Structure 1
Amino acid sequence: MKIEQIYTGCLAQGAYYIVSENEAAIIDPLREVKPYLDRLEKDKVTLKYIFETHFHADFVSGHLDLSKKTGAPIVYGPTAEPQFEAIIAEDNQIFEVGKIKIKILHTPGHTMESTTYLLIDENGVETAIFTGDTLFLGDVGRPDLAQKAGSVTQEDLAGILYDSLQNKIMPLDDSITVYPAHGAGSACGKNMQKETVDILGNQKRTNYALNQPDKESFVREVLEGLTAPPKYFGMNVAMNKGGYESLDEVMNKGLNPISAEDFEGFAEETGSLILDTRSPGDFYKEFIPNSINVGLKGDFAPWVGALVVDVKQPILLVSDEGTEEEVITRLSRVGFDNVLGYLKGGFIAWKNADKETDQVNRISSSEFAEVFNSQAKVIDVRKISEYSAEHIENAYNRPLDMISDWVSGIDNSEHFFLHCAGGYRSMIAASILNSHGIRNFTEIDGGFNGIKKTEKLPLTNFVCQSKTL
């Protein structure tokens, strides 16, 4: 028997590849399925089942493409209602893969169809659980995503999750290995550990959610501090449940080179968003006016999802040459399938065509320390939790993921400084502000991490102050 965790850092997501004898199973596959097909061919095994722990919200699964290419059936737990052919398993049902068995443990709460898969090895020993978003390391799945107005509340779901954990997970042996669907950095939980594999006994000892004295305490603690989920989550659920375009077709459409001469007109004609995936260090120097920068070397796809929201939005790419396929793949993981093409030759082609460019006023953190005074207005786009921990005295906290709510309140007649932790998020914000005609600001390279190192600026540990812009 072999268990392989295939972890994707930018999504903080774990898929699982399990082999026994000449058969395999895959749990929660990513959108692009070629890596799985390559593994199957290399191991000379047949994919017998594709197990889905639930209808994912934060990424689009590869279950449909993988099933079409291999003929393996898709398996969901009880109550799931996909709009395509699948096996809807019963609680405690057993599936055999080679000499091992996979047992269905229906564990609703995160969503009503959420299911944990219990692996029983060739000796009949319960060995591992694949918990999806039911149990994370250090946390449990957020119970607010599947609430329905007028019927099921987040409190109801949290209570159901408590029962699932107490009745299905806690009775299992401490020696069982826990393989969750996500780790630290995922928006599906709030308190995840950096590790991606653990022993159940350790989680019973250290996971705050598993150590509540009663259901009422569990509901209160699990719901406390939850921020609004990214707005694209609902669209990803709909794609996972209802189906989507083949990634092969998405790729064929997106790998469409467009010359610098035709690029601007094509963008206007199609209503496309121009998405520049170059690094912030390249973007700020020169870029196509009104383009939005989300650097590929970062949490690229989740930030596109959080800020663009509409997965059907037409997109044109400005990318480093040779990265176009990677960009399209990563966008497809969160459901953005409507890439219509890319700037042929990259940004240098735009420059060589003598096209109009724009830029962001950027200074280093040390330069900022020299020009800062008590009258300077500073906008910090980090998360509320980051800001609350430590920030520049009197700085305003305006989280990047809420920019659509606060951008209209900016007074463009008054200069301000803009920063995040290191410069990635603040450059995203800078590009969005520019696209709204807001230009009277200076972005700080190095962000708060660099600002702290200067040791010249007044910092405070106070929580968010209530001043308005």
Structure 2
Amino acid sequence: MKIKQFEYEPLSHFSYAIISEGKMIVIDPERNPEFYYEFAKTNNANIIAVIETHPHADFISSHLQIHKETGATIYNSEKLGAIYPHSSFDEGDVIPLGNINFTALNTPGHSPDSITVVAQEGSKTALFTGDTLFVGDVGRPDLRKDGGNKEQKQQELAEAMFDSIHTKFKNLPDDAVVYPAHGSGSLCGKSMGDASSSTLGEERKQNWAFKTTSKKEFVKELIDSQPFIPSYFGYNVDVNKKGAEILRKATAKVQFKMGSSLRGLIVDVREEREFKKGHLKGSINVQAASETAKFETWLGAIIKPEERFSIVISHPKDLHMILERVAKIGYENQLQKVVTLPNVRLKETSALAIKDFNENPNDYTIIDVRNHSEVEEGKVFESAISMPLNTLRDDVGKIPTDKPIVVHCAGGYRSAAGSSIIEKHLSSKVYDLGERVKDFN
């Protein structure tokens, strides 16, 4: 059994390719399928199947594109209600791949249609657990908004997760390797470990979900203090149920202009220092300057799925990168234009006089854009007003304007976005504390 784990770090997403006797299956693929094609080519394998463990909320899958380009059959639970061509894969179903047999466990909890894929070859067992079982955690139960009472659905899914964890895995061996769809940093769970895989035996010993034998306590622990839900999550579930357009075609529709001015909602993806030196008035600074920046998450948290927007990049060579990253969450359809900065007078952002702020913090209105769960663990400044970044555009009008405003987060990335949002909407002087927040912790 040859297993390759692929990681997309900004979304903490793991996908998989499994090869046996010249045939390959892909599980939970990301938006760009080229990585799987290259792996198949290198190993002289034909991609015969794609398995979706559930319709993902945090990224767009390429299952339909892989089907169109390779002829691979798409498999998923019939409970998913998929609109694309597929074959059902539920308990009792088997997919043979050379010497490997793939079977399904219906493991609802993160979603009602979640499955765990069991791959067995002789005495070896691998579990592709999707968003059901993570290293050290299980998937959150509060992402589905398919109508009805949200709290009731959350309760039902949390109870279903308890049953999945305590019944569906009990006949599997301790040495079964657990391969989840996400790792630490994903918003699909709240306390995942740093490891990219584990064993079922280790999870039985260490994972709180296996150790909590009271359903009532399990449900309470699972529901309490889940992280925020970005605006784009429900939209991605809907897209994945239909299947996304081929990536090349989708991104080719976006206009690109050299040195063009923009109107409307503008997202500037440059590094914050460059942004502060000069930007188009009203721009929001959501940085994509590094390969590991959580650009997709914050783009989809700040900009809603129905909103049209444009993007500013540093150089033409950045175009392909930014189009692909926008497409990771399916936002290419609402992206109107990508431009480099025009040769016009740009707006500058003033630097905070850190000495004065340090000596006279009460002379400033301090806005904390961290998540509520972070604030509950401890404030950096007692006088700070908590306004999480994901809802800041809706709440910005509540900020007092009688003093200069200082924005902070935990490390500087979110405060760059937050200060630019406030600067866009308010006439007060706005400063970004940035990385210097670490001096106050």
Q: State the SS of the aligned residue for 2:418.
A: helix
Change (3 A) 1:396 1:420: same
Deviation of 1:402 after TM superposition, in Å, equals 2.0
Deviation of 1:114 after TM superposition, in Å, equals 0.3
Q: Within 2, Cα distance between the matches of 1:367 and 1:25?
A: 58
* Cα-to-partner distance string for 1:352-383 (whole Å, 9 max, x where unaligned): x2x1311222237x546644344433222122
* Cα-to-partner distance string for 1:249-280 (whole Å, 9 max, x where unaligned): 122123x43132xx33xx44xx5x32211101
Q: Within 1, Cα distance between the matches of 2:127 and 2:427?
A: 51
What residue number does 1:220 align with? 220
Q: Is the 8 A contact 1:135 1:180 kept in 2?
A: yes
What residue number does 1:460 align with? none
After superposition, residues 4-83 of structure 1 pair within 5 angstroms as: 4-83=4-83
The AA in structure 2 aligned to 1:292 is I
Q: Is the 8 A contact 2:90 2:115 kept in 1?
A: no
Q: State the SS of the aligned residue for 1:128.
A: strand
After superposition, residues 110-259 of structure 1 pair within 5 angstroms as: 110-121=110-121, 123=122, 125-146=123-144, 148-150=147-149, 153-254=153-254, 256-259=255-258
1:393 equivalent in alignment to 2:382: yes
After superposition, residues 74-93 of structure 1 pair within 5 angstroms as: 74-93=74-93
1:430 equivalent in alignment to 2:419: yes
* Cα-to-partner distance string for 1:75-125 (whole Å, 9 max, x where unaligned): 00241211111011231311111211111111112111100000101x2x2
Gaps of 5+ in 1: 453-469
Change (3 A) 1:25 1:367: farther
Q: Within 2, Cα distance between the matches of 1:76 and 1:243?
A: 12
* Cα-to-partner distance string for 1:33-78 (whole Å, 9 max, x where unaligned): 1111111112111001100000111111011111111110110024
Q: Is the 8 A contact 1:427 1:443 kept in 2?
A: yes
Deviation of 1:407 after TM superposition, in Å, equals 0.5
Deviation of 1:340 after TM superposition, in Å, equals 3.4
Q: Is the 8 A contact 1:158 1:222 kept in 2?
A: yes
Q: Within 2, Cα distance between the matches of 1:451 and 1:388?
A: 17
Q: Within 2, Cα distance between the matches of 1:418 and 1:372?
A: 15
Deviation of 1:21 after TM superposition, in Å, equals 1.4
Change (3 A) 1:198 1:229: same
Q: State the SS of the aligned residue for 2:437.
A: helix
* Cα-to-partner distance string for 1:289-320 (whole Å, 9 max, x where unaligned): 11211110210011000110215624333334
The AA in structure 1 aligned to 2:284 is I
Q: Is the 8 A contact 2:23 2:45 kept in 1?
A: yes
Change (3 A) 1:393 1:228: closer
Deviation of 1:387 after TM superposition, in Å, equals 2.8
Q: Is the 8 A contact 1:413 1:440 kept in 2?
A: no
Structure 1 counterpart of 2:277, from 275, 281, 285: 285
Q: Within 2, Cα distance between the matches of 1:328 and 1:367?
A: 41
Change (3 A) 1:396 1:340: closer
Q: Is the 8 A contact 1:363 1:445 kept in 2?
A: no
Q: Is the 8 A contact 1:289 1:356 kept in 2?
A: no
Q: Within 1, Cα distance between the matches of 2:396 and 2:140?
A: 29
Report the TM-score when normalising by structure 2.
0.93
Structure 1 counterpart of 2:370, from 382, 389, 398: 382
Change (3 A) 1:214 1:445: closer
The AA in structure 1 aligned to 2:42 is K
Q: Is the 8 A contact 2:118 2:128 kept in 1?
A: yes
Q: Which runs of 4+ in 1 moved over 4 A?
A: 368-371
Q: Is the 8 A contact 1:80 1:88 kept in 2?
A: no
Q: Within 1, Cα distance between the matches of 2:436 and 2:250?
A: 36
> In percent, how many aligned pairs have the same letter?
32
Q: Is the 8 A contact 1:133 1:140 kept in 2?
A: yes
Q: Within 2, Cα distance between the matches of 1:55 and 1:417?
A: 40
Q: Within 2, Cα distance between the matches of 1:368 and 1:23?
A: 65
Q: State the SS of the aligned residue for 2:216.
A: helix
1:451 equivalent in alignment to 2:437: no
Q: Within 2, Cα distance between the matches of 1:410 and 1:394?
A: 13
Change (3 A) 1:90 1:422: closer
Of 378-387 and 64-73, the range deviating more from structure 2: 378-387
What residue number does 2:336 align with? 340
Q: Is the 8 A contact 1:20 1:100 kept in 2?
A: yes
The AA in structure 2 aligned to 1:258 is K
Over aligned residue pairs, what C-alpha RMSD do you find? Answer: 1.9
Deviation of 1:398 after TM superposition, in Å, equals 1.8
Q: State the SS of the aligned residue for 1:257.
A: strand
Of 162-171 and 374-383, the range deviating more from structure 2: 374-383
Q: State the SS of the aligned residue for 2:109.
A: coil
Q: Is the 8 A contact 2:15 2:29 kept in 1?
A: yes
Change (3 A) 1:289 1:208: same
Q: Within 2, Cα distance between the matches of 1:317 and 1:243?
A: 29
Of 398-407 and 366-375, the range deviating more from structure 2: 366-375
Q: Is the 8 A contact 1:159 1:219 kept in 2?
A: yes
Q: Within 1, Cα distance between the matches of 2:104 and 2:358?
A: 62
The AA in structure 1 aligned to 2:375 is Y
Deviation of 1:141 after TM superposition, in Å, equals 0.8
Of 188-197 and 406-415, the range deviating more from structure 2: 406-415
Q: Within 1, Cα distance between the matches of 2:44 and 2:419?
A: 50
Q: Within 2, Cα distance between the matches of 1:422 and 1:316?
A: 24
Q: State the SS of the aligned residue for 1:171.
A: coil
Q: State the SS of the aligned residue for 1:284.
A: helix
What residue number does 2:326 align with? 331
Change (3 A) 1:112 1:238: same
Deviation of 1:416 after TM superposition, in Å, equals 2.2
Change (3 A) 1:156 1:310: same
Q: How many residues align?
A: 434
Gaps of 5+ in 2: none
Q: State the SS of the aligned residue for 1:392.
A: coil
